[in-house]
C-alpha cells in the first residue's frame, strides 16, 4: 500500500512566520473517521482512455474536499492519471496551504480469463 501526500514545505515568502507543516502518516489515516475516503477514477467520458485534465482533476478535488473526503484511492496507474492527481493536489495545496488530500494507489489484480465466460463454462462442467 502506498500513500502520497502533497505538502508545501516552504515558508511563505511574504510573511515573517513559517507555516506549520502537518505530518500525516498512514497510521494516522487508516481507521480514522476524520479521514473519509473514496475510490476515484476521474472518468468524464465513456472511453476511460480519455484522461481528465489537471484542471478537471482540481475541480473534482475541490468538490470531494467540500464533501469531507480527504483520501482518494485510485487504481488507474497505467495511464498518467495518478501522477496528474498528485499534480492537481500539489497545485491546490500551493493555492491554499490548508487544503488536505491524500492518495492511495491500489492494484487491480485479475485472474486469467476473469472477463470472459471461459472460467464459468469450466466451473459448470466441473459441477456436472
- d(Cα 90, Cα 4) in Å, to the nearest integer? 11
pLDDT digits (tens, 9 = 90+) for 25-64: 889 998 899 999 999 988 888 888 888 999 999 999 999 9
Phi, psi of 86, rounded to the nearest 5 degrees: -65, -40
Say if residues 113 and 12 touch (Cβ distance below 8 Å). no
Domain boundaries, the chain: 2-127
Using DSSP's 3-state secondary structure scheme, residue 37 falls into: strand
Name which of 29, 120, 37, 39 is nearest 71 in CA terms. 37
Partnered with residue 32 across adjacent β-strands are none
User: Which of these ranges, 11-20, 26-35, 64-73, 89-98, has the smallest mean pLDDT?
Assistant: 11-20
Phi, psi of 112, deg, nearest 5? -55, 135
Would you state the pLDDT for residue 17?
44
* CA gap 73, 45 in Å, rounded: 20
Strand order in the sheet with 102-105: 2-5, 102-105, 69-74, 36-39
The pTM of the full predicted model, rounded to 2 decimals, is: 0.69
Are residues 13 and 36 in contact, defined by beta-carbon separation less than 8 angstroms? no
Amino acid at each position: 500500500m502506498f500513500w502520497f501526500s502533497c505538502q508545501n514545505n516552504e515558508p511563505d515568502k511574504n510573511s515573517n512566520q513559517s507555516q506549520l507543516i502537518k505530518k500525516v502518516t498512514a497510521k494516522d489515516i487508516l481507521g480514522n473517521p476524520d479521514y473519509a475516503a473514496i475510490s476515484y477514477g476521474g472518468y468524464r467520458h465513456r472511453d476511460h482512455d480519455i484522461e481528465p485534465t489537471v484542471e478537471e482533476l482540481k475541480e473534482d478535488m475541490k468538490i470531494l474536499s467540500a464533501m469531507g473526503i480527504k483520501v482518494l484511492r485510485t487504481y488507474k496507474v497505467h495511464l498518467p492519471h495518478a501522477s496528474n492527481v498528485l499534480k492537481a493536489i500539489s497545485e491546490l495545496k500551493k493555492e491554499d496551504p490548508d487544503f488536505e488530500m491524500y492518495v492511495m494507489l491500489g492494484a487491480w489484480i485479475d485472474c486469467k480469463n476473469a472477463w470472459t465466460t471461459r472460467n464459468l463454462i469450466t466451473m459448470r462442467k466441473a459441477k456436472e
